[in-house]
Amino acid sequence: MKKSILIFIALFTVIVFTGSTSAQDDNMKKWMDYMTPGDMQKMLSKGVGTWTMKTSWWMAPGTEPTVSEATAVSEMILGGRYLSTKVSGSMMGMPFDGISLEGYDNAAKVFMTTWIDNMGSGIMYMTGKWDEAAKQINYTGKTVDPMSGNMVDVRQVVTYNSDGTVKMEMYGPGSDGKEFKTMEIITVKKN
């Protein structure tokens, strides 16, 4: 048995390390393409800086929004691969803090974003595609509904306006299960 294991390890090592040089070169190129920041990461890097955020929240369709303001500080991390944003402000008279992480997966060809904040204990995760004509990333994903404890579908549209502002619109299910606009954030760069 011990001899069989040693033979297997030896054969595996020979196969792995004596494989086609062309295949190894191709695999190395794919990995380098996967790890190297490109145009989509450059686009995300336009978010670096300090931003003023005006947020409108709707608790139900057809209601008046609650409006609040916050500040966002964003930086590219891990060699320009991801945009990390820390948000601080207030919501409904309480301190509000949140963190987002955005990136673009070069192999999967999708944007990814996560969101956490002090108004919950879950992590929202979404993936999205770039719409060049509209200058938007259209994200879809799931988050927990704290009232039911169930995962629900959410959608986020991030529009990069020609004046340098960014508009984020969030959509989720209402009590009837139909999608409605739950939030809109207009961000204006301070510096």
pLDDT tens-place string over residues 151-175: 999 999 999 999 999 999 999 998 8
Angle at 125 between CA 42 and CA 60, to 5 degrees: 115
138 shares a domain with 69: yes
CATH number, domain containing residue 80:
2.40.128.20
β partners of residue 140: 127, 155
Instruction: Give me the pLDDT at residue 68, please.
Output: 93
100 shares a domain with 54: yes
Instruction: Give me the pLDDT at residue 31, please.
Output: 85
Find the domain containing 143 and state its range. Answer: 39-189
Instruction: Give me the pLDDT at residue 8, please.
Output: 52
> Is 83 in contact with 102 (CB distance < 8 Å)?
yes
> Is 138 in contact with 118 (CB distance < 8 Å)?
no
pTM: 0.84
> Is 87 in contact with 72 (CB distance < 8 Å)?
yes
Instruction: Give me the pLDDT at residue 9, please.
Output: 63
- Look at residues 189, 184, 186 and name the one whose alpha carbon lies nearest to residue 171: 184
Round the CA-based radius of gyration of the chain to a whole number and report it: 22
Intervals of the chain under pLDDT 50: 11
Instruction: Kindly report the number of other CB atoms within 10 A of residue 172's CB atom.
Output: 17
Instruction: Give me the pLDDT at residue 134, please.
Output: 96
What is the per-residue DSSP string for 107-122?
Answer: TTTEEEEEEEETT-S-
Instruction: Give me the pLDDT at residue 10, please.
Output: 56
Structure tokens at 158: 């991030």
Instruction: Give me the pLDDT at residue 2, please.
Output: 63
Instruction: Give me the pLDDT at residue 44, please.
Output: 95
169 shares a domain with 91: yes
Longest dimension (CA), the chain: 75
- Look at residues 30, 169, 37, 159 and name the one whose alpha carbon lies nearest to residue 104: 37
102 shares a domain with 24: no
99 shares a domain with 47: yes
Give the C-alpha separation, 42 to 57, whole Å.
30
Structure tokens at 148: 């039911």
β partners of residue 70: 53, 89
What total number of domains does the chain contain? 2
Instruction: Give me the pLDDT at residue 138, please.
Output: 98
94 shares a domain with 73: yes
